[in-house]
Amino acid sequence: MADNNTTEITPWSFLADSGAENYFAKVDYALKNGRHIQQWKEQAFWFRFIANNEESIKQYYRNYFGVSLEHGGEANEKYYYLDFMPDSRGNIPVDNRHFLQNEFVIVGFMLYKAIFIDNYIELSSVKAFQRILRQDYEEFKEGLFRVLAKAKSLKITQMTEGKMDSTVANAMKAFEKIGWIELQEDNFEVLPSFQRLPKLYADYINNIDEWIKTEATK
């Protein structure tokens, strides 16, 4: 039973919000484009609009599109996104789903490792990141060249280096598109929603020892 003092939350009640006129179309496009929305520059207005109407917007996407409005992070680091749930039978046609290239997943984890695990806290240049990948990770080097530059031979050449660099550059562009980083030419800024990457793979990551065991038995 709805309390008389509170308005009932429906999948459309957010439309009554005074910000809906200004922000809903933009927010809708951004979310469906896979963008993560956080308190960052002009996105902060969108963020607030979602935060104020979270439950209603959530219902809207769940009821009509079969996708889920989710959030990650806490306080200042909080971000919203649409979870497209790969196994669900949502109302979004398969053809319209866009997959993040697998190479980019690997580049993303390398970026995560560099900044959050290895404390390259000042890293903010794509060129510098490319250089780190080419030079600093001896233990991953061969594998990285194989997966990112599709290099068959173990000998690293200028061409494979160029290929790897361009894969990295493209990955950074893809991350910008979904709001994980802000990219301005060579400079980038990692945004709170970048934490979505390990979250996406959390179930594998938490059971990695099992995976590695099966790898060893192959």
Partner 1 sequence: MKHNDNHTFHFLSEIAKENTYRLLFPDAKAGMAIILLYEKLENGAFPDKFFKESDIHDALLKVSSVNLNNGQYHLKEQYNAIISDLQEYFLRYDEDKQQYSFKEYAYTFCRHAKETLKSFFDPTQIEVICTNLRDKLISCGTQEKVQEWFDLDFSAFKPRLKNQLDYLDKQIDQSVADLRENKRLSLQEGTILDTLRQIDERFEIVRSQNKELRTAFRATEEIRRLLNKYAEQYDSDEIHKGTDAAISFFQEMRHVLLLIDKRLDRIQPRIKQLFSNLNKPLFNVRIEKFLGYLIRNSTETNVEGRKELSLPDGIHPTITSHAVSNFTIVDRKSDLFPAKPKKRMVAVETPELKQKAFATTISQVFQQDDVTRWLGTIAEQLAEEKHVDLSDYFFRIIQEEKGDNTLGLAISVLYRAIKRYEQQQQYKVTINPAVTKSRQGIKTRLWQITIQQK
Q: How far is the CB of 80 from partner 1 (least distance, A)?
A: 14
Residues of span 116-175 touching partner 1 by CB under 8 A: 116-122, 124, 139-140, 143-144, 146-147, 150, 174
- Position 98 contacts partner 1 (CB under 8 A): yes
Q: How far apart are CA 218 and CA 212, in angstroms?
A: 10
Task: Please state, in angstroms and rounded to a whole number, the distance separating the CA atoms of residues 64 and 84.
Answer: 13
Q: Please give the structure tokens belonging to residue 79.
A: 């971000």
Q: Which residues contact 178 (CB under 8 A, 6 or more apart)?
A: 33, 34, 35, 36, 100
| Nearest approach, Cβ of residue 19 and partner 1 (Å) | 21
Q: Is 183 in the site for partner 1 (CB under 8 A)?
A: no
Residue 54 to residue 13: CA distance in whole angstroms: 11
Which of 15, 115, 169, 183: binder of partner 1 (CB under 8 A)? 115
Least distance CB 31 / partner 1 (angstroms) = 9
At 66 the three-state DSSP class reads coil
Taking CB under 8 A as the binding criterion, the range among 4-12, 43-51, 99-107, 128-136 that sits at the site for partner 1 is 99-107
Q: Would the CA dihedral through 188, 192, 198, 199 be positive or negative?
A: negative
* H or E element that contains 202: helix 202-206
Question: Are the C-beta atoms of 187 and 203 separated by less than 8 Å?
Answer: no
Stretch that binds partner 1, among 3-11, 12-20, 54-62, 79-87 (CB under 8 A): 79-87
Nearer to partner 1, 49 or 180 (CB): 180
Interaction site with partner 1 (CB under 8 A): 29, 32-35, 77, 84-86, 92-93, 96-103, 105-106, 109-110, 112-113, 115-122, 124, 139-140, 143-144, 146-147, 150, 174, 178, 189-190, 192, 198, 200-201, 204-206, 208-209, 211-212, 215
